[in-house]
Structure 1
Amino acid sequence: MEGGIEELAKIPIVEIDKAKHTKDDIDVRLKWLGLFHRRKHQCGRFMMRLKLPNGVTTSAQTRYLASVIRKYGKEGCADVTTRQNWQIRGVMLPYVPEILDGLDEVGLTSLQSGMDNVRNPVGNPLAGIDPDEIVDTRPYTNLLLQFITANSGGNPAFANLPRKWNACVVGKRCDETIPLDAWIPGDDVIPLCKAMLEAFRDLGCRGNRQKTRMMWLIDELVQVVDIGFMGCMARDENGKPCEGANIFLGGRIGSDSHLGQVYKKGVPCKDLVPIVADILVEQFGAVPREREEGEY
């Protein structure tokens, strides 16, 4: 993935601009290497975005980045981003091969940090010292980076997604999160991400870039089943009072909001599961599967 940067770095910007393929190299293709040409504001200068899983950086890495931007004077600066990452500005193309070598020496990479790639894996900013953490997120963000970039060597399998893809590992209970009730063991983090990325890569839309994010693929492939329950008293098969629920289907919020329709009233709680299973098959086209031994 880095092949050719040494030769490109030897060509003056004015010469690069004379040919469309080399102009596209610095304005588009170098983004896969984490280099963003600031043509409108600083023609000939680049912003370089790194990969810094969980935002963990060492003093050696920070000193090296400082040494890089120092040579550019007031044109050079560094950003700490909202995705726990470093961005350095003012970079000039002739120095890029030397910078890449220096990054490698201090354990950093800029590979696949731009364009339609997986962005920097983020985690708990207090990982390892948070008294309320359930999981230390650092090992998982590190594994994600190693998987995504093939140990900083470049991973062509996930270097051309329909659009960028963000990953975050949360290590504590958070009031701002939206619970999905989808939990996996720690050992399955990478296999799950791999499966999701393969689905996104192979099935995602590559047309209108306003509709190529992962959410549009989910919207296309997944049917949302809106079933509502309202607690009530019911009667069991012997006519005795018991806890139950009224079942509602449909309903919508927003500009065309409307109430759901009553499907069945007074259903004992113990009868809800088979009734909901029937609803999924009859109303939403679900296909029953045989349960494995010991599965409920």
Structure 2
Amino acid sequence: MTSATKPVGSLNKFEKFKAEKDGLAIKSELEQFAQLGWEAMNETDREHRLKWLGVFFRPVTPGKFMVRMRLPNGILSSTQMRVLAEVVQRYGEDGSADITTRQNIQLRGIRIEDIPDIFTRFEQVGLTSVQSGMDNVRNITGSPVAGIDAAELIDTRELVQQVQDMITNQGKGNPEFTNLPRKFNIAIAGGRDNSVHAEINDLAFVPAYKDGILGFNVVVGGFFSAKRCDAAIPLQAWVTPNDVVDVCRAVLEVYRDHGLRANRQKARLMWLIDEWGIDKFRREIENALGRTLQPEAEKDEFNWDKRDHIGVFPQKQPELNYVGLHIPMGRLYAQDMFDLARIAEVYGNGEIRLTVEQNVIIPNVPDSRLDAFLVEPLLERFSINPDPLTRALVSCTGAQFCNFALIETKNRALTLIKQLEAELDLPRPVRVHWTGCPNSCGQPQVADIGLMGTKVRKDGKAVEGVDLYMGGKVGKDAHLGTCVQKGIACEDLKPVLHQLLIEQFGARPRQEAVVSS
């Protein structure tokens, strides 16, 4: 079934407009949209079809669009970062960028009249935002230290690029995969610490040895949604690196042609696996491949605790280092982006990497330049040694820019964490994730402490609140956390977290810590 083919069964409104016109066709209309202005655009084009090109109408900021990039493996050059900075700079206080939990960047404050010129600038430096929204494969994640980690098993960079090229036709757009039943996430892990959160992807490749050969065990079906959250399960298959692109294609073809479409709340890949069973699902993948898959390896190589890559670390290349910078809440402004491009060129080789924790890595810093790098004023804002709560803090966009969010997240999260750090001394980082709604873009289920936005009643009024999740684990033996308390008003949250950090995570009041030391 191609993207323009009418799906079988009853059509919801999304399937109807997808059947009417392929999302990529809207590219030829961008100049017209720029002249018309956002208010005169067809509503379906403006609010839905533009997403096939990575352009998102934001109802909470009318006329100011968001553009979501595609950055395979979370890697970009200083030249590319500078172009993104120039785009953000156009819009003054309205312009900003967010690093996402998929090693990606989203640009905010964009005007529709500028999109044709912005896309031209992207193309000039090898950037694309194609197929980054709606029912497409999202940014493909890989090891953030691929090719430079002394302990890595597989360099994921080329594999991730090959998969993206297959899905997007080298960034030109590929109608073969623009009409999936729902969005789709792919991750390729290259190390022992599960840096990509394989368990929350629809399709993930986990390093594993079989008969002395290094390849991947395959897991499928992981996802978060308002309706349901599930960890990925084994496909019961092992593949070589040379098989990865073909397996991705086969899984996408099966999902495209057989996935459930009638109810968008039950359309992610796991719902199809539930209906078929894993054995039938695997057989269909094998049919699409035209060959039998090998049984999975007895064990995978996820046997390390998760690393956050913040700090200074020697690379496998002699006399070179990578430096991980903590970006509070993943939020960047134009000058930040220019500064990151500059230090990547001055101290490294011009390469910039992003992590799923919304942070930045500058690789290839020679020993001889390291001391000068570490006294750069930029590192006062983007620390290599942040406090334990700030260090592992992750947040979705929240109500500031997202119409789905039930609460404001980023500013509230950072303010609250700073207050708690002023009061408490913690023996180790605690991963706190905020998400503004049950769609779980902030991934509270993988956190030590997860906070999901909701509305609660207090003194007879509806106020912003959170549901509390605990028990998420990343790295080896990863598993999802569960909701342990519902309906905490945000204004009452601080004492709850204060006590929780003391009882569950070994925090001590700072006065007590000072006295005992």
Provide the TM-score with structure 1 as the length reference: 0.71
Against the structure 1 CA distance between its residues 88 and 155, is the aligned structure 2 distance closer, same or farther, given a 3 Å change threshold? same
Per-residue CA deviations over 1:212-238 (Å, capped at 9, x if unaligned) read 00001111112579xxxxxxxxxxxxx
Q: CA deviation at 1:174?
A: 3.3
Within the candidate set 198, 207, 212, 2:262 is matched to 207
Per-residue CA deviations over 1:120-169 (Å, capped at 9, x if unaligned) read 01000111111111100000110111011001111001001000110000
Aligned residue number for residue 264 of structure 1? none
How many residue pairs get aligned? The number is: 219
Does structure 1 residue 37 correspond to structure 2 residue 92? Answer: no
Q: CA deviation at 1:14?
A: 3.1
Within the candidate set 191, 194, 211, 1:172 is matched to 191
Against the structure 1 CA distance between its residues 91 and 137, is the aligned structure 2 distance closer, same or farther, given a 3 Å change threshold? same
Please state whether the residue corresponding to 1:109 is helix, strand or coil.
coil
Against the structure 1 CA distance between its residues 12 and 76, is the aligned structure 2 distance closer, same or farther, given a 3 Å change threshold? same
Against the structure 1 CA distance between its residues 223 and 29, is the aligned structure 2 distance closer, same or farther, given a 3 Å change threshold? closer
Against the structure 1 CA distance between its residues 223 and 73, is the aligned structure 2 distance closer, same or farther, given a 3 Å change threshold? closer
User: Aligned equivalents of 2:80 and 2:278: distance in 1?
Assistant: 47
The AA in structure 2 aligned to 1:30 is L
Aligned residue number for residue 185 of structure 1? 240
| Coordinate RMSD, CA, aligned | 1.7
The AA in structure 2 aligned to 1:195 is A
Q: Does structure 1 conserve the Cα–Cα contact (< 8 Å) formed by 2:64 and 2:109? A: yes
Aligned residue number for residue 293 of structure 1? none
Q: CA deviation at 1:4?
A: 1.1
User: Aligned equivalents of 1:142 and 1:4: distance in 2?
Assistant: 28
Aligned residue number for residue 52 of structure 1? 71
Please state whether the residue corresponding to 1:163 is helix, strand or coil.
coil
User: Aligned equivalents of 1:143 and 1:165: distance in 2?
Assistant: 17
Bigger shift: residues 73-82 or 173-182: 173-182
Aligned residue number for residue 27 of structure 1? 47
Q: Does structure 1 conserve the Cα–Cα contact (< 8 Å) formed by 2:187 and 2:198? A: no
Structure 2 segments unaligned to the other structure (5+ residues): 1-23, 200-216, 218-233, 281-517
Per-residue CA deviations over 1:238-275 (Å, capped at 9, x if unaligned) read xxxxxxxxxxxxxxxxxxxxxxxxxxxxxxxxxxxxxx
Against the structure 1 CA distance between its residues 26 and 223, is the aligned structure 2 distance closer, same or farther, given a 3 Å change threshold? closer
Does structure 1 residue 7 correspond to structure 2 residue 26? Answer: no
Q: How does 1:1-296 map to 2 (within 5 A)?
A: 1=24, 2-16=27-41, 22-39=42-59, 41-174=60-193, 180=234, 182-222=237-277
Q: CA deviation at 1:210?
A: 1.2
User: Aligned equivalents of 1:195 and 1:50: distance in 2?
Assistant: 25
Q: CA deviation at 1:177?
A: 5.7
User: Aligned equivalents of 1:188 and 1:141: distance in 2?
Assistant: 13
User: Aligned equivalents of 2:88 and 2:152: distance in 1?
Assistant: 36
Against the structure 1 CA distance between its residues 49 and 201, is the aligned structure 2 distance closer, same or farther, given a 3 Å change threshold? same
The AA in structure 2 aligned to 1:117 is N
User: Aligned equivalents of 2:73 and 2:191: distance in 1?
Assistant: 14
User: Aligned equivalents of 1:15 and 1:158: distance in 2?
Assistant: 29
The AA in structure 2 aligned to 1:149 is T
Please state whether the residue corresponding to 1:90 is helix, strand or coil.
strand
Q: Does structure 1 conserve the Cα–Cα contact (< 8 Å) formed by 2:69 and 2:130? A: yes
Per-residue CA deviations over 1:57-80 (Å, capped at 9, x if unaligned) read 100000000001101000000111
User: Aligned equivalents of 1:221 and 1:185: distance in 2?
Assistant: 26
- The share of aligned pairs that are identical, in percent, is 46
User: Aligned equivalents of 1:209 and 1:6: distance in 2?
Assistant: 32
Against the structure 1 CA distance between its residues 223 and 116, is the aligned structure 2 distance closer, same or farther, given a 3 Å change threshold? closer
The structure that has the greater radius of gyration is 1
Structure 1 segments unaligned to the other structure (5+ residues): 17-21, 226-296
User: Aligned equivalents of 1:115 and 1:73: distance in 2?
Assistant: 28
User: Aligned equivalents of 1:137 and 1:95: distance in 2?
Assistant: 35
Please state whether the residue corresponding to 2:101 is helix, strand or coil.
coil
User: Aligned equivalents of 1:147 and 1:14: distance in 2?
Assistant: 35
Please state whether the residue corresponding to 2:141 is helix, strand or coil.
coil
User: Aligned equivalents of 1:63 and 1:124: distance in 2?
Assistant: 23
The AA in structure 2 aligned to 1:112 is Q
Please state whether the residue corresponding to 1:110 is helix, strand or coil.
coil
Against the structure 1 CA distance between its residues 177 and 159, is the aligned structure 2 distance closer, same or farther, given a 3 Å change threshold? closer
